[in-house]
Amino acid sequence: MKSVRIIRLILLVALAAYLWLFHTANRQQVELPVFQSFLPPLPVAYVVGFALVFGWLVGFLPARIAAWQRSREVARLRARVAELESQARPPLSERATAVRAGPPTTYPAAEPDVPVIPDRGNPFHEVPVSDDEAG
C-alpha cells in the first residue's frame, strides 16, 4: 500500500506542476456565463483546476460510498457465517468422543479374492449350471 501512496503523491505533484505551468502560459481572465453575477473574472488555470477537482469528486465519492457499504456488508456476512458455523458444529467434547467409521461402502460384505490382472485367472466366480432347475 505504501507504493500506491507514493505513486499518488508523485501524480499529485506532477498535476500541480502542470497546472502551474498552464497558469503561467495563460494569463488571460475568463468570465463564466452562469456565474457572472457573483464571481469576478478568473484565470483559466483556476477554472480548469476547479473542473478537474469537481470531476474527480463526482467519480470518487460515489465509488467510495459504495465500497464502504460493501465492506460493512461483507463484515456483517462474515460474522453471520461464523455464527452459523459455530451452531452447526457440536462442542469439542462431543466431537472428541464421537466414533468415526470408515467411508461408506456399497459392498455388502468383503470382496472375494479376485486377481487384479484379468489374464491370471477367471475374475468371475461362476455358479455351476444344472439342468434340474430348467423344468
Q: Are 81 and 88 in contact (CB under 8 A)?
A: no
Strand residue runs (E) in the chain: 29-30, 42-43
Contacts of 121 (CB under 8 A, 6+ apart): 115
Q: Are 32 and 42 in contact (CB under 8 A)?
A: yes
Q: Are 51 and 32 in contact (CB under 8 A)?
A: no
DSSP secondary structure letter of residue 118: G
Which tens digit of pLDDT belongs to each residue from 89-132?
766 666 555 555 666 666 666 655 655 665 655 556 666 666 66
Which tens digit of pLDDT belongs to each residue from 48-99?
888 888 998 899 899 999 999 999 999 999 999 999 988 887 666 665 555 5
Q: What's the pLDDT score for residue 119? A: 63
Q: What's the pLDDT score for residue 20? A: 84
Confidence of residue 23 (pLDDT cuts 50, 70, 90): confident
Q: Answer yes or no: pTM beyond 0.85.
A: no
Which tens digit of pLDDT belongs to each residue from 25-47?
888 888 888 888 888 888 888 88
